A = this chain, B = another copy of it.
């Protein structure tokens, strides 16, 4: 299968356009990358002052960024908000700061959590519900989940955190896609003891190359994470753009509304093409089809990159096209062709 080289590579992520170009050398340019869950219409970069590039980031500027994140995410006064060069940097460090024997990871989800806990020597068990965290020293929930959009009520997560904390355990909640979800679903405003929540900046704001993310945590866990990041973890441009964007509530409201409309439009196209919608968020859709691998190749030859999952060969994840031309090319590529029937 031509698609297998991309899809089955260890640690495969969406967004590997370079690999896709090698796999489909005859595909038309420009590629339409629907393999990620990144907002295709980014927050405006605007002017970056020269000093943001040239100077070491100042403590005051970092504090302003973290205050902007605090305003956006709404933690209580007892929780620390720690900026990082992307949530991936937090995922890499967490197993070193909170070493465990056994970690439960809920459902089919973002693969880097399991990778990083395993690399630190933890046994990783697949949890099918929060109850399966029993016997684990830590539990990981991506909420809403990537790739299926499963959303767990924060009250339920708080109970899971309490159960884990009673045995000295930790609940890790990765809210990478929470910015575009309905209000009231984040665990941050009532963060229980023994829980840490991560927020991604690059996805909802469409600036994945900037590398900016946050952890919200209390007590020694927050202190440990802040110490691990060290001084100057976040770049000057990321501080500058992040502090502007995170106080711009109108932009996020408008972006969320647009993504809601467009994800419904995507559902319509996929359903028409014979896919069954499995779930998603306003930033991506997971769709099922008898021959998803065939669709991955067909779309790839048309210069449209989707996200396959080696362990779930019947599904593909689709991001949102960025413009009319992208929508038109996707619509054309999803039309039935004689070769298919």
B16 near A92 (CB under 8 angstroms)? no
Cα distance A61–B17 in the bound complex, in angstroms? 11
Within 8 A of B (CB), among A225-253: 227-238
Interface string of A177-213 (1 = CB under 8 A from B): 0000000000000000000000000100011111100
B16 near A58 (CB under 8 angstroms)? yes
A85 near B209 (CB under 8 angstroms)? no
- Pick the most buried of A19, A50, A53, A238: most chain B CB atoms within 10 A of its CB: A53
- Say whether, besides A232-B86, A236-B210, A38 and B19 are in contact (CB < 8 Å): no
- Say whether, besides A59-B16, A60-B18, A230 and B89 are in contact (CB < 8 Å): yes
B59 near A232 (CB under 8 angstroms)? no
Interface string of A100-124 (1 = CB under 8 A from B): 0000000000001000100100000
Interface string of A46-74 (1 = CB under 8 A from B): 00001111111111110000000000000
Cα distance A41–B228 in the bound complex, in angstroms? 31
Contact-size category for A: 35 or more
Contact of A230 among B51, B54, B88, B208 (CB under 8 A): B88
Q: Which residues of B contact A14 (CB under 8 A)?
A: 56
Q: Which residues of B contact A60 (CB under 8 A)?
A: 18
- Pick the most buried of A18, A38, A206, A211: most chain B CB atoms within 10 A of its CB: A211
B54 near A85 (CB under 8 angstroms)? no
Contact of A209 among B52, B89, B209 (CB under 8 A): B52
A18 near B54 (CB under 8 angstroms)? no
Q: Which residues of B contact A207 (CB under 8 A)?
A: 53-54
Nearest B residue to A18, CB-CB: B60
Residue A13 at the chain B interface, CB threshold 8 Å: yes
Nearest B residue to A53, CB-CB: B209
Q: Which residues of B contact A238 (CB under 8 A)?
A: 235
B230 near A116 (CB under 8 angstroms)? yes
- Chain B nearest CB from A41 CB (Å) reads 9
Contact of A53 among B45, B51, B57, B88 (CB under 8 A): B45
Q: Which residues of B contact A42 (CB under 8 A)?
A: 50, 53-54
Nearest B residue to A116, CB-CB: B230
B229 near A211 (CB under 8 angstroms)? no
Nearest B residue to A85, CB-CB: B85
Cα distance A230–B88 in the bound complex, in angstroms? 7
Q: Which residues of B contact A56 (CB under 8 A)?
A: 13-15, 36, 38, 202, 208-209
3 A-B pairs with least C-beta separation:
A209-B236, A18-B60, A15-B56
